With several copies, the nearest count.
Chain A
Amino acid sequence: MIQPLTREQMAARVARDIPDGSYVNLGIGVPTLVANYVPAEREVIYHSENGVLGMGPAPKPGEEDPDLINAGKQLVTLLPGGCYFHHTDAFVMMRGGHLDLTVLGAFQVSETGDLANWMTSDQYLPPAVGGAMDLAIGAKRVFVVMEHTTRRGEPKILKTCTYPLTGTGVVDRIYTDLAVIDVTDEGLVVREMIDGFDLEDLQEQTDAPLRSADDLSLLVHRTEVDLSSGL
């Protein structure tokens, strides 16, 4: 019986790959959890598109300030060295290629790194895009973290996305509850896979063709902070 990673374990796995000294924007959902698992030894500067650089953790009770929130509208704090700026400047950072990395959730990713994470085909829901497109095209590297398949078991890693795109050819690496997969010029390369799976098992849950890295390793379940990097 295989054990997919929990959301926390996925976040912890992504956290291993956040480099010391990097400027990072974390999307809403699992991406936001990533910060919890980045080792304290690494100094990472978190950016929020609503005009904050150097975000710290959630405030202690009694220290909440409704004027200090992140892009997910959660209350946050500011680290010493952090600063504020207006929205247009926040997007200069994003669109201008100044962020080292963004971690985003996704509905679908294609084998060429197309990203679909802003709109499903539900006609009753009004569309909402926020800053997703700016992040997708602007950050130097784009990591996606998501479940490997939908709740119904449909693959989310596809030859071609069926949902409307956020950006084309933008994703560098995909972290799922089953594997870590690089988007390369030669297609999707599996770097890590959970115990009990072989490439065929993973391929069954994946629409786009996969191949195995020469140094394929085990995707481990852990939520403790890990100083090693999978990059």
Chain B
Amino acid sequence: MIDKRVATLTQAVSDVKDGSTILISGFGIAGIPIDLCHALIDRGATDLTLVTNNAGSGHTDVAALLKAGCVRKIVCSYPRSAGSIWFEELYRAGKIELELVPQGTLSERMRAGGAGLGGFYTPTAGGTLLAKGKETREINGREYLLEYPIRGDVALIKADRADRWGNLTYSKSARNFGPTMATAADLTIVQVREIVELGELDPECVITPGIFVNRVVEVGASS
């Protein structure tokens, strides 16, 4: 029998190793797996590489991971948001490594990681500072950059509903990076508002098929 439900947040992240690369869903406030982030802090994780769109704001979730000293490096597209004080402090102090990736390239690189591709050519960032050091190639008269896949050891994702096979639905724009990140990690851990019976999710409307998910934990309508 397949049962991906896990009873507690602590259990869900118990075997996440120090030094791991962690994909974290979310854009702005929407879709961030806040409870899983805090469970990871409680576990005392260190030396992490985070792959996530923003670098946290305020004092919770990604910002809390930074504040707690769990993070060595962050791969993201937009680390500078209103209230990204912890990131900015670490950045100015030279205490965190930043890899800045255009948002579409960030998402596409994770998709390539999940899809078993070796890389792809994108026109995005051609002729800019972010093309520095990247291999370029002219295809049909246009310049493209070669980008390589990103994979995580772990993905932490927030979804709306799940069943015991790990099928997921999301809520509105909180879907954002979740479906792609779920495909691109060795261990995909999902916090959901609600776990439902097998068969309750409309098979036409499952957004992340359970094959991409390892663990689901119900947190209710969390913060």
Contact = CB atoms under 8 A, between A and B. Distances in A.
Q: Do chains A and B touch in the complex (CB under 8 A)?
A: yes
A21 B170 CA distance: 24
Nearest to A133: B102
B103 A126 contact: no
A125 interface: yes
Nearest to A89: B209
A164 B128 contact: yes
A115 B78 CA distance: 18
Interface stretch (B14-22, B63-71, B114-122): B114-122
A52 B173 contact: yes
A167 B103 CA distance: 14
Contacts of A220: none
A131 B77 contact: yes
A49 B178 CA distance: 14
A47 B173 CA distance: 12
Interface string A43-56: 10101111111100
Contacts of B103: 49, 87, 91, 129-131, 134
Contacts of A93: 209, 211-212
B60 interface: no
Interface residues of B, number: 70
B78 A84 contact: no
A90 B52 CA distance: 16
Nearest to A86: B179
A96 interface: yes
Nearest to A76: B173
A133 B167 CA distance: 27
A126 B91 contact: yes
A202 interface: no
Interface centre among B103, B116, B163, by most A CB within 10 Å? B103
Contacts of A43: 1-2
A51 B171 CA distance: 11
A124 B92 contact: yes
Nearest to A96: B116
B220 interface: no
B173 A68 contact: yes
Interface string A91-119: 11111111100000000000000000001
Contacts of B1: 20-21, 43
A50 to B, nearest CB: 4
B30 interface: yes
Interface in B117-175: 117, 122-130, 163-165, 167, 170-175
Contact of B115 (A49, A50, A78, A92): A92
Interface stretch (B5-13, B38-46, B196-204): B196-204
B176 interface: yes
A70 B117 CA distance: 25
B28 interface: yes
A151 B85 CA distance: 26
Given A81-B199, A85-B209, A130-B78, A67 B104 contact: no
B165 A84 contact: no
A88 B79 CA distance: 19
A165 B88 CA distance: 23
Contact of B198 (A80, A90, A91): A80
B211 A98 contact: yes
Given A91-B103, A134-B102, A81 B210 contact: yes
B30 A45 contact: no
A48 B100 CA distance: 21
Contacts of B53: 87
User: What 4 A-B pairs have minimum CB-CB distances, sorted nearest first?
Assistant: A80-B199, A91-B104, A134-B104, A73-B28
Interface of A: 20-21, 23, 43, 45, 47-54, 65-69, 73, 78, 80-99, 119, 124-134, 137-138, 164-168
Interface of B: 1-2, 27-31, 53, 55, 77-82, 87-88, 91-92, 98, 100-105, 107-108, 110-111, 114-117, 122-130, 163-165, 167, 170-180, 183, 198-199, 201, 203-204, 206-207, 209-212
